[in-house]
Amino acid sequence: MFDDYVSTGRLAPPADVRRIVDRAWQDVRTVTEGENSEVYPALAVADPEQFGLCVVGTDGEVFEAGDAEAGFALMSVAKPFTFALVCAHLGAERAREELGANATGQAFNAVEPVLAAPGGRTNPMVNAGAIATCSRLPGADVDAQWEHLRAGLSAFAGRELRVDDDLYAGVSATNFRNRELAAALEAKGALATPPEDALELYTRQSCLLVTAHDLAVMGATLADGGMNPLTREPVVAPDLVRPVLAVMATAGMYERSGDWLYDVGLPGKSGIGGGVLTVSPGKGGLGSFSPRLDEAGNSVRGVRVAARLARDLGLGLFASRPA
């Protein structure tokens, strides 16, 4: 069967990975460009000097540098994993039909794509599409949906994730744009639940506390066909990973997704909390944390270090050598 063949490999020998990760962290930590997000007060006061880096292989090997265990808000890095859980519930084709898969070319919190698209469809990696995704989680009410979502995200991370209550309170009080997006989605018939429930789920997932280590484990789970490489527990079916990575590749870095693919060559996802997730199928996941962001809301150091490691570790999907 041709389906038995996949174009994946393995990480370099551990000693080489350790050396390359350490050197990349040392070099990129000197970058001071960018500014903390001011979307929410708690993000604006995060220590801009923190920089954590972690690579986790599909074999469970872990390589860390810097502030890899520092906690920060998951924010939009939750989106691919929530989409995976909804794909498991609805099926990947129905999820694409209802949520969309193409990049909007606009900012992550723009309302215009919702208003312009048929049925309000955008993609699961921008705020509007992620709110619509949350509305399709299984469960009889918002509490049951949340428990399904929290348990699923925790399974990806290999440990129980908790909401930062102070951050949640601050985000809930100031997420005016996301309320506007939820109202626009409702008007277009794009939600499967009341808008306040969809927005509540989206807000809670954004306020989960994670580390760069967690992101690397979550990425490695996608890299290993939905199997968590540390717990060895399956989280989603292997055939659901491909559509998740596809949407990450097309829209995971917002309007900079094309530049990201040009430089990194891998599916990626950023969050305004400073996290960046990168997945190298068959090889492993990369997680980084640094609060200083570029104009598109992507961590400056996170983007730099992903490009560096994709090159030095040979992770990129588009690289090849003559046979």
- Mind listing the pLDDT tens digit for each residue in 6-31? 777 889 999 999 999 999 999 999 99
Query: How confident is the model at residue 112, as a pLDDT?
Result: 85
Query: How much is the pLDDT for 3?
Result: 57
- Alpha helices (H) in the chain, listed in sequence order: 14-28, 41-44, 79-90, 92-99, 112-116, 127-134, 142-157, 165-174, 176-187, 195-206, 212-223, 238-251, 257-263, 300-312
Q: How confident is the model over 184-217, as pLDDT tens digits?
A: 999 999 999 999 999 999 999 999 999 999 999 9
Could you tell me how many residues make up the chain?
323
More confident residue, 266 or 118: 266
Q: Looking at the predicted structure, is the pLDDT value of residue 1 above 70? A: no
How many helices (H) and strands (E) the chain has is answered by 14, 7
Tell me: the pLDDT tens digits for 122-156? 999 999 999 999 999 999 999 999 999 999 999 99
Q: Summarize the confidence of residues 99-121 as an average pLDDT.
A: 84
pLDDT for 153: 98
Band (108; pLDDT cuts 50, 70, 90): confident
pLDDT value at residue 2: 47
Q: Is 262 exposed, middle or buried (0-12, 13-18, 19+ CB in 10 A)?
A: exposed
CB 289 within 8 A of CB 52: yes
Looking up tokens 């990626």 gives 268
Report the top-level CATH class of 12-75+208-312.
Answer: alpha beta
Angle between helices 127-134 and 176-187 (to 10 degrees): 70
| Mean pLDDT estimate for the chain | 94
Q: Count Cβ atoms below 10 Å from residue 97 Cβ, excluding itself.
A: 13
Whether domain 79-205 has CATH 3.40.710.10: yes
Give residue-wise pLDDT tens across range 220-274. 999 999 999 999 999 999 999 999 999 999 999 988 999 999 999 999 999 999 9
Average pLDDT of 170-175?
90
User: Residue 319's pLDDT is what?
Assistant: 85
Count of Cβ atoms closer than 10 Å to residue 116 Cβ? 12
pTM of the full predicted structure?
0.95
Q: Which of 192, 195, 176, 174 is nearest to 184 (CA)?
A: 195
The domain limits of the chain are 12-75+208-312, 79-205
Fold: same for 12-75+208-312 and 79-205 = yes
Does 283 score more than 70 pLDDT?
yes
